[in-house]
Structure 1
Amino acid sequence: MHVFLAGATGAVGRQLVPLLHRAGHRVTAASRSEGGVAWLREQGADAVRLDVLDRGATAEAVAAAAPDAIVHQLTALADGSLAENARIRREGTRSLVDAARRAGVPRIVAQSICWAYGPGDEPADETEALDTGAPEPRATTVDGVLALELAAAELPEAVVLRYGMLHGPGTWYEPGGLIEQRLRRGELAADGAVTSFLHVTDAARAAVAALYWPSGAVNIVDDEPAPARKWVPVLARALGVAAPEPSSDRPRWARGADGGLARTAYGWRPVEGSWRTSFERLGGPRAGS
């Protein structure tokens, strides 16, 4: 299959390019920077420099590539801006879907998130509605997710991967990343808010597999949804940062996600281990220094 990969030099995209090649796919990959284009060519991909917010350029790039499917891994997470990431979900997805429709590309696999569901007491499955009544600032995130998923569904074949919170190389959870900075500033609560996590390599594996899945949304998460009062101390200890005092407070939407559909219907399961395995590994080099 010929795949057009948008967001190819992000945390998931960098894992995804070699996995797509290994699976026998041809890859046309897009990056906004010359450095990104150079890296992609080193990986054996056909690379194009592209800002997907430029709708004309996106239409031209997709038409020129004439792929069988688009894999959408676009994010804007470097500075933690919810508004900018929501804009990419709205406008970037709109640009890709319009380009796909013009070029006759039938299939898209798009990155979404699993923490946009409405309030509840148990991990959410795919039958539950998104939290469209949420107040700001959460409304910005949910509205962006909804726009992404509705736009993707305009194509004949659309798989939406509702990823857990990504950890691993290139994410906020690496040493020196955004989460360590928040820990050091005392901005991270060790409360009852439940998170479902996902390693970036497992996220990339799911995207490759989803090229052959039927249309619909699928939660892609590890097997250990956890309240912050459990995972924050593990991460803090590994990073050598004092952990905040634990509490039981929980926003009712912070409930984690049920990954049963991916496992039972499609045979997908994580292989990189849970957040616990990944966070504990972060402490290894420091412990031996």
Structure 2
Amino acid sequence: MRILVAGGSGVLGSRVVNLLVRAGHQVWATTRRGDREPLIAASGAKPVAMDALVADDVARAVEVSAPDVIIHELTDLAGSDFAGNARLRVEGTANLVAAARAHGVEHMIAQSIAWMYEPGEGPADETVPLARTTDGAPAFPSVEALEEAVLGLRHGIALRYGILYGPGTWYAADGDIYRRAADGEVVATTAWTSFVQVDDAAEATVDALAWPAGVVNVVDDAPAHVEEWGPRLVTLAGGLVRSISARAEGRAASNARARSLGWTPRHPSWRDAWEADSGA
């Protein structure tokens, strides 16, 4: 197939691009940074300069690539810019969906998150309602806006990834969260956490080319509370626990649907993977 990967030079997007090229697809990958274009070209994909916040840029990228499928891996988390990332989820997604519609592309796979379910007992499947604030507003409004836009396409798929770990992520030895853990501090987004190794997430994304429209959790088999995984991360990072906390209680997610569609994580438990990576 002809596939456009929006955000194709990022930690997850670059892995998806490599897998798609190896599978024999014709791949275009977007980036805002000119210095990343040679890396995209070296992977066998065709680089496309694009700022997702500029509608004309997005329209040109879709026109040039004429894709059968768009894979949306756009993020803006450099320097922990959460406001910028939220804006990209809303405005960038709107631009991407509008360009897709204008060029007759109805198949889109988009990056979402697995930690926005309302609190409750046990891991949540995809039918569980999403968390709300005390006044009833969405707890994760930019993510809900992203999903609404993508799922409005005839064949829109929202992959709710767990917390990514592995090389290049914030949980790698050179990542922000790992460095803070080395200082004894862990602040989780939600106390109940589902993880997924970044290469497993990339494989699920490619598998999703054959999945039906809708929402799918992409998480490992071992959800855990921050009171378990936080101290373990501190120990692996060589620190002494000073503070373990979370911004919200949250809820773990179930991967039963992804497994029913044929995906199996190569790293079923973050516990084993973290220890293997550390040499423990």
Report the Cα distance in structure 1 between the residues aligned to 2:22 and 2:170, rounded to whole angstroms: 27
Instruction: Figure out how many residues of one structure are paired with residues of the other and give that number.
Output: 280
Q: Give the corresponding residue for 2:219.
A: 221
Q: Give the corresponding residue for 1:147.
A: 145
Alignment pair present for 1:210 and 2:208: yes
Match of 1:229, SS state, is helix
Report the Cα distance in structure 2 between the residues aligned to 1:190 and 1:216, rounded to whole angstroms: 28
Cα contact 1:189–1:244 (8 A) shared by 2 = no
Q: What is the root-mean-square deviation in Å for CA atoms of aligned residues?
A: 2.4
Report the Cα distance in structure 2 between the residues aligned to 1:192 and 1:143, rounded to whole angstroms: 16
Q: How many angstroms does 1:67 deviate by?
A: 0.5
Report the Cα distance in structure 1 between the residues aligned to 2:21 and 2:4, rounded to whole angstroms: 12
Letter in 1 for 2:158: V
Match of 1:119, SS state, is coil
Q: Give the corresponding residue for 1:70.
A: 70
Q: Give the corresponding residue for 1:262.
A: 258
Letter in 2 for 1:272: H
Letter in 2 for 1:200: V
**Stretches of structure 2 lacking an aligned partner (at least 5 in a row):** none
Cα distance change on mapping 1:185 and 1:234 into 2, 3 Å: closer
Match of 1:79, SS state, is helix
Match of 2:237 among 222, 236, 239: 239
Cα contact 2:116–2:251 (8 A) shared by 1 = no
**Stretches of structure 1 lacking an aligned partner (at least 5 in a row):** none
Alignment pair present for 1:163 and 2:158: no
Report the Cα distance in structure 2 between the residues aligned to 1:19 and 1:162, rounded to whole angstroms: 20
Cα contact 1:238–1:281 (8 A) shared by 2 = no
Q: Give the corresponding residue for 1:172.
A: 170
Q: Give the corresponding residue for 2:273.
A: 278
The 5-angstrom pairing of residues 70-109 of structure 1 reads 70-109=70-109
Q: How many angstroms does 1:9 deviate by?
A: 1.1
Q: How many angstroms does 1:187 deviate by?
A: 4.0
TM-score, structure 2 length as denominator?
0.92
Match of 1:128, SS state, is coil
Report the Cα distance in structure 1 between the residues aligned to 2:5 and 2:188, rounded to whole angstroms: 37
Q: How many angstroms does 1:143 deviate by?
A: 0.2
Alignment pair present for 1:6 and 2:6: yes
Report the Cα distance in structure 2 between the residues aligned to 1:190 and 1:88, rounded to whole angstroms: 22
Cα contact 2:182–2:237 (8 A) shared by 1 = no
TM-score, structure 1 length as denominator?
0.90
Stretch moving more, 17-26 or 216-225: 17-26
Give me the identity figure in percent.
45
Cα contact 1:234–1:280 (8 A) shared by 2 = no
Alignment pair present for 1:28 and 2:19: no
Q: How many angstroms does 1:4 deviate by?
A: 0.3
Q: How many angstroms does 1:282 deviate by?
A: 3.7
Cα distance change on mapping 1:13 and 1:134 into 2, 3 Å: farther
Alignment pair present for 1:182 and 2:175: no
Report the Cα distance in structure 2 between the residues aligned to 1:239 and 1:74, rounded to whole angstroms: 29
